[in-house]
């Protein structure tokens, strides 16, 4: 366990917990000092008690490189005789010996610096898009960019958003919707929450939104059929019995090969399996076999496979919007009067709309922490 920063000094040296993104971006954080071959962990460790706990001095110190901070923490965890920290990379510190929690402060500061860097890069991407947008020809697009920017700047820089399956995701994760980075499990889970909100508003009692991990669990069960119905698969058995009994539609966004999102709907009422892949590929044979086995097991009927309409993704110029296309395909399939199928060039704007909806949903449910 790293040395604990006293409660009475945390607020003065780490005030970032309460800052908005806008306020965090305005902070001037001390840079890391460059790593040199003269840096040695032993030179930072002292068996003597601290002779300075001046927080102004400690905050003014430039932290050593992050990997060196980790090495210091590892040494402190195994060296109970160490009583204080020296700072030889900072000549101004002289012979001052600082409390051990100084290293904890440096480590915590690295997380703040990472968050600040993430938002700096994200908003730089947004600025670039604003410069490239023709205001006269794309007024709505420009307004969307400004709304997204203002909303992002007002977020809590250290808050979190809780997904429908109870997973807390840092607000920093929301930055991904502004960029062209590939959307992660956390992003897709939050987007499935928006589908759950639609299901609730539309009172669609025959729709069950599953997690992004559903297909993986189903594949495991299919490979272990002799144990299906036993511990480890009871939840899946209950889900199969319940959805088949009510003729429900089970909906999920699934990860294919660890780098591609696809849409999947298992319609028990119509004995149909709908699969949407933005690059046009059919459902993988292993997936089809697992879904066919599972639906047959719970209904004693064979289901038919169909292609779900979905926007086309040209991998030569776009390998990062598949998650948006999968979500949009499902949204259009379930609520055709509310959603329209995206065209490829609309994906970036749709990511911003998803971001704005997620913030609105979280604020309305008062889940920010």
- DSSP per-residue codes, 299-329: HSSPPEEEEPP-----TTT-SS-HHHHHHHH
Percent residues over pLDDT 70 in the chain: 93
181 DSSP 8-state letter: S
Q: What is the pLDDT of residues 28-37, one digit of tens each?
A: 888 998 887 7
Residue spans in the chain of domains classed CATH 3.40.395.10 = 183-346
Provide the 10 A C-beta neighbour count for residue 228: 18
- For residue 102, name the pLDDT band (cuts at 50, 70, 90): very high
Instruction: Report CA Rg, the chain.
Output: 26
Look at residue 366 in the predicted model and tell me its pLDDT: 41
Q: Which residue has the higher pLDDT, 293 or 146?
A: 293
What average pLDDT does this structure show over 14-40? Answer: 86
- Average pLDDT estimate for 111-120: 90
User: CB-hemisphere CA count at 13 Å for 43?
Assistant: 10
Tokens 């429908």, residue located: 164
pLDDT digits (tens, 9 = 90+) for 165-195: 566 778 888 888 988 889 999 999 999 999 9
pLDDT over 60 at 363, yes or no? no
pTM: 0.80
pLDDT for res 354? 92
CA distance 256 to 319: 13
Among 329, 352, 305, 313, residue whose Cα is nearest residue 254: 329
| CATH code assigned to 183-346 | 3.40.395.10
> Higher-confidence residue: 76 or 155?
76
pLDDT at 264 over 80: yes
**Ranges 1-15, 130-144, 256-270, 315-329, most confident:** 256-270
């Amino acid at each position: 366990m790293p040395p604990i920063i006293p409660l009475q000094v945390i607020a003065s040296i780490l005030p970032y917990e309460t800052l908005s993104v806008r306020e965090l971006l305005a902070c001037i954080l001390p840079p890391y000092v460059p790593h040199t071959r003269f840096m040695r962990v032993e030179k930072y460790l002292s068996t003597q008690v601290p002779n300075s706990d001046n927080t102004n001095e400690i905050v003014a110190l430039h932290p050593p490189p992050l990997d060196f901070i980790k090495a210091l923490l590892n040494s402190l965890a195994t060296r109970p005789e160490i009583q204080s920290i020296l700072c030889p990379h900072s000549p101004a510190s002289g012979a001052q010996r600082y409390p051990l929690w100084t290293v904890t402060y440096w480590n915590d500061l690295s997380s703040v610096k990472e968050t600040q860097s993430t938002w700096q890069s994200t908003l730089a991407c947004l600025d670039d898009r604003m410069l490239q947008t023709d205001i006269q020809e794309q007024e709505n697009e420009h307004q969307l960019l400004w709304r997204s920017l203002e909303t992002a700047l007002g977020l809590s820089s250290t808050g979190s958003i809780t997904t429908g399956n109870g997973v807390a995701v840092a607000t920093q994760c929301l930055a991904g919707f502004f960029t062209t980075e590939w959307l992660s499990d956390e992003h897709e889970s939050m987007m499935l929450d928006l589908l759950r909100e639609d299901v609730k508003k539309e009172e669609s009692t025959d729709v069950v939104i599953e997690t992004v991990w559903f297909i993986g669990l189903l594949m495991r069960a299919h490979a272990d059929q002799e144990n299906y119905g036993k511990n480890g698969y009871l939840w899946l058995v209950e889900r199969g019995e319940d959805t088949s009994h009510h003729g429900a539609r089970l909906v999920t966004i699934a990860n294919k090969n660890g780098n591609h999102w696809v849409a999947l709907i298992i319609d028990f009422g119509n004995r149909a399996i709908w699969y949407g892949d933005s690059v046009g590929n059919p459902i993988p044979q292993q997936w089809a076999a697992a879904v066919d086995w599972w639906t047959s097991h719970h209904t004693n009927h064979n289901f038919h496979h169909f292609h779900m309409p979905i926007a086309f993704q040209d991998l030569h110029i776009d390998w990062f919007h598949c998650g948006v296309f999968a979500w949009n395909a499902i949204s259009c399939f379930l609520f055709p009067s509310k959603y329209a199928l995206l065209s490829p060039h609309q994906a970036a704007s749709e990511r911003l709309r998803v971001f704005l909806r997620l913030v609105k949903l979280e604020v309305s449910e008062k889940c920010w922490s």
